[in-house]
A and B are shown apart, each in its own frame.
Chain A
Amino acid sequence: MIVASSPSLPEPVGTRFEPSSRTQARLVQLARALHRAARNPSTLAGSLIVLALVFAAILAPLLATHDPMAQDLAARLTPPGAAHWLGTDQLGRDLYSRLLYGAQPTLMIVVLVVALSAPFGVAIGLLAGYFGGWVEAVLMRVTDIVMAFPRLILALALVAVLQPGLVNAVIAIAITAWPPYARLARAETLSLRHSEFVEAARGLGMPSGQIITGQILPLCLSSAAIRATLDMAGIILTAAGLGFLGLGAQPPMAEWGAMIAAGRDHIFDAWWVAAVPGLAIVLVSLGFNLLGDGLRDVLDPKHHD
């Protein structure tokens, strides 16, 4: 209802604003979206958290105070303090430094899973929606079957079969993560399949492949992007769960889920070992959730409230 009206940016009401070129129209659109995003506190908070994660991952070598792998058995299970800001773990490794380095596998898993699952899911959805008939029946049935499988458990079984490790965790999560994208893209395609501009393109003799990639795909992207952002929180939690069970990144690599598992044995006498990486997971997935909610408000006009 309340599309944030700002005095500085032209609003798409009536004929007040006529873009003179495609690029200009896009730029104005982008500027409006950014403007709306900046006014939305949850988007802002979410973006800041996600940015912090990216910075932590990239700048870990600079920001870390210790070598994340360096053991110091004399200083094992030191509580948070001046020497070790967030304390040390059961091998005397600095938790603050490990936390920073732990941002790397987290970010890598999220990016890889989305990069693998979203394009695949969108492609399936586009094909099903555009061609209909038995193509749709088969593709959507497969989608439903994969969707029917509990995600973490399927990932668990897959990793168990493929051997534990970071890459296999990514593969397993990606295999379970694509169906929602397929459903989304199919729904969007169905509503566009018989729209006038698609009929026009078809009438002009445009091949199906071009119609799908050039005409329909761009319109599916924003909903897929929202979905991906909201999904990232879930991916982080699944990856952390696999790490906790010892099926994700392997020691001595600093991975938040595995760090919690290590802290589990000392939870009653050295709570910080498990608490610190857990808080990091909560913060980061909260960030992705806030960002996703905010993006939905900004990009999806149906959700303005």
Chain B
Amino acid sequence: MRGLVLGGVMAARGFAALLITLVGLLLVTFVVGRVMPIDPVVAAVGDKASAETYAKAREALGLDQPVWIQFGRYIGGVARGDLGQSSLSNRPVSEDIARVFPATVELSTLGILVGIILGVPLGVFAAHRRNRWPDQIIRSVSLLGYSTPVFWLGLIGLLIFYAQLGWSGGPGRIDTAYRYSVEEWSGLMLVDTLYSGDWDAFRSALSHIALPALLLGYFSLAYIARMTRGFMIEELSKEYVTTARLKGASEADVLWRHALPNVLVPVITVIALAYAQLLEGTVLTETVFAWPGLGLYITNSLFSADMPAVLGGTLVVGVCFVLLNKISEILYPILDPRTRSR
């Protein structure tokens, strides 16, 4: 009973912390939006409007109210899914984001899958072969990932695999020929082409997403492999590992069945962080690959001084960031009984 109450209190505290962080995020975007040199009234009515129209628009936008009331309205608006009006597309920012977000989710999810599938085994293997040549190679590859600008590697990738070798489909999500033939169903191009049963379109979509996804995958691999290696090295130095070896467990068993499950919790946290970073990394990647997702939306809006769109996009990425971290925290006790509240 007591455990249950304690658990409830902990959950409530965690939830309160999450709420405070989210309000903090909103405060940041609100403040950034307030100090912008672009007058939102002028953006709405144009600079040729009369003083009367200007004042009316100012009132309509609520800019004559005290700052804290404006902030309250802002929070209320966001809570209802109102991120303001994009001056570029003349549509609600939330609609725009809903339209472009699936492309980003598709790209970053594929990227993180590559990162997990390659990164975790590589990290385990590096720890196993610690300080010998496989470890040195894996460490170098990962260090290089830490040191390379993603947009530059994207350009070089396009140069080699698209222009020279012709293996990649190049910029965009799909060849122009299929762009309007694929029926939009989930917003995920790979899923939609499969769903419509158009194999050629699917192959085209795959050839377009492969390069940017592998690229993002490489960056998360660098992080995941490096961290997994560190956790595994620590775990492999523990006594139960020695015991297992003495009892004749095979090295594969020791690695994958004894040690790895015990480091899964920190590894999951790292994966959540890597996923959040991928969402951010897409801003530059999408620009290079003309990938019509949230990142490209933010940068395009930036250049047309469409601040509601920029701040809305920033907010969405920020919220994803916070939520992914939270999810990894929630997964802790589920995956590891040792961290359940005693």
Expressed in whole angstroms, the Cα–Cα distance for A247 and B288 within the complex equals 16
The answer to whether B147 touches A282 (Cβ under 8 A) is yes
For window 279-305 of A, CB contacts with B under 8 Å fall at 281-282, 285-286, 289-290, 293
- Asked whether B20 is an interface residue with its Cβ less than 8 Å from the other chain, the reply is yes
Inter-chain contacts of A247 with B (CB < 8 A): 302
B146 contacts the other chain (CB 8 A): yes
Given the interface pairs A244-B284, A245-B287, the reply to whether A281 lies near B276 with Cβ below 8 Å is: no
Provide the bound-state CA to CA distance between A244 and B153, in Å.
Answer: 13
B21 pairs with A156, CB closer than 8 A: no
Partner-binding segment picked from B22-30, B64-72, B101-109, B244-252: B22-30
A153 and B317 contacting across the interface, CB-CB below 8 Å:
yes
Q: For the complex, give the distance between the alpha carbons of A89 and B210 in Å.
A: 30
Residues of A within 8 A of B284 (CB): 152, 241, 244-245
Residue interface bits A100-118, CB-to-B below 8 A is 1, else 0: 0000000000000000000
Contact pattern, A 142-177, Cβ under 8 Å of B = 1, otherwise 0: 101110111111101110110100000000000000
Residue of B36, B146, B150, B287 near A289 (CB, 8 A) is: B146
Q: Mark out the residues of chain B between 282 and 328 whose CB falls within 8 Å of any chain A CB in the assembled complex.
A: 283-284, 287-288, 298-299, 302-303, 305, 307, 310-311, 313-314, 317-318, 321-322, 325
Q: Are A142 and B283 in contact (CB under 8 A)?
A: no
Residue B147 contacts which of A146, A154, A285 (CB distance < 8 angstroms)? Answer: A285
What is the distance, in angstroms, from A103's C-beta to the closest C-beta of chain B?
Answer: 16
Query: Which of A241, A286, A289 has the most C-beta atoms of chain B within 10 angstroms of its own C-beta?
Result: A241
Binds B, one of A29-37, A56-64, A201-209, A267-275: A267-275
Main secondary structure of the interface of A (DSSP, over half): helix
A148 near B143: Cβ-Cβ < 8 Å: no
Specify which chain A residues have a CB less than 8 angstroms from the CB of B150 in the assembled complex: 241
Proximity string of chain B (135-155) to chain A, C-beta cutoff 8 Å, 1 when within and 0 when not: 000000001101111111101
**Which residues of A have CB within 8 Å of B325?**
148
Q: B310 and A160: CB pair below 8 A?
A: yes
Partner of B317, one of A150, A246, A278, A282: A150
Q: Which of B149, B158, B280 contacts A281 (CB 8 A)?
A: B149
Which residue in A142, A148, A282 is a CB contact (below 8 Å) of B144? A282
Expressed in whole angstroms, the minimum distance between the Cβ of B327 and any Cβ of chain A is: 13
| B143:A157 contact, CB within 8 angstroms | no
In the complex, the answer to whether A150 meets B321 with C-beta atoms within 8 Å is: yes
Q: Which among B17, B28, B149, B287 is the interface contact of A237 at CB below 8 angstroms?
A: B149
- Report if A126 contacts B (CB, 8 A): no
Known interface pairs A148-B325, A156-B302; A282-B149 also in contact (CB < 8 Å): yes
Cα A156 to Cα B277 in complex, Å, equals 15
- Inter-chain contact B143/A152, CB cutoff 8 Å: no
* A160, B201: Cα distance in complex, Å: 38
Which residue of A153, A241, A282, A286 is within 8 Å of B151 (Cβ)? A241
A257: CB under 8 A from chain B?
yes
Closest to B38 in A: A161
Nearest to A42 among chain B residues (CB) is B143
Q: How far is the CA of A268 from the CA of B171 in the complex (A)?
A: 13
* A148-B25 CB under 8 A given contacts A264-B155, A278-B152, A290-B143: yes
Report which of B20, B143, B307 forms a contact with A141, defined as CB distance below 8 A: B20
Q: How many residues of A contact B (CB 8 A)?
A: 43
Can you list, as one digit per residue, whether each of B248-274 has a CB less than 8 Å from chain A (1) or not (0)? 000000000000000000000000000
Residues of the B chain whose Cβ atoms lie less than 8 Å from the Cβ of A290: 143
Cα distance, A31 to B285, chains bound together (Å):
45
Q: CB of B194 within 8 A of chain A? A: no
Q: Are A286 and B147 in contact (CB under 8 A)?
A: yes
Is B88 close to A, CB under 8 A? no
Judging by beta carbons under 8 Å apart, are B29 and A157 in contact?
yes
CB distance from A5 to the nearest CB of B (A): 19
- Contact B318–A149 (Cβ < 8 Å): yes
Task: Pick the most buried of B155, B159, B163: most chain A CB atoms within 10 A of its CB.
Answer: B155
Is there contact, CB below 8 Å, between B143 and A286?
Answer: yes
Among B29, B146, B163, B325: residue with most chain A CB under 10 A: B146
Q: How far is the CB of A174 from chain B (nearest CB, A)?
A: 15
Alpha-carbon gap, A286 to B149, bound state (A): 11
Say whether A268 contacts B146, CB under 8 Å.
no
- Residues from 1 to 56 in B contacting A, C-beta threshold 8 Å: 17, 20-21, 24-25, 28-29, 32, 35-37
B156→A148 contact, CB < 8 A? no
Given known contacts A157-B311, A289-B143, A149 and B28 CB-to-CB distance under 8 angstroms: yes
Other CB < 8 Å A-B pairs besides A263-B155, A286-B144, 8 of them? A146-B28, A148-B25, A150-B277, A150-B318, A153-B298, A161-B32, A244-B152, A285-B147
A-B pairs with beta carbons under 8 Å apart, 13 shown? A146-B28, A150-B280, A150-B318, A151-B280, A152-B283, A237-B147, A241-B284, A257-B149, A267-B155, A267-B159, A278-B156, A286-B143, A286-B144
Among all A-B residue pairs, the 8 with the closest Cβ atoms:
A145-B24, A278-B152, A150-B280, A285-B147, A286-B147, A161-B36, A268-B163, A148-B322
Interface residues of A, Cβ cutoff 8 Å to B = 141-142, 144-146, 148-154, 156-158, 160-161, 163, 233, 237, 240-241, 244-247, 257, 260, 263-264, 267-268, 271, 274-275, 278, 281-282, 285-286, 289-290, 293
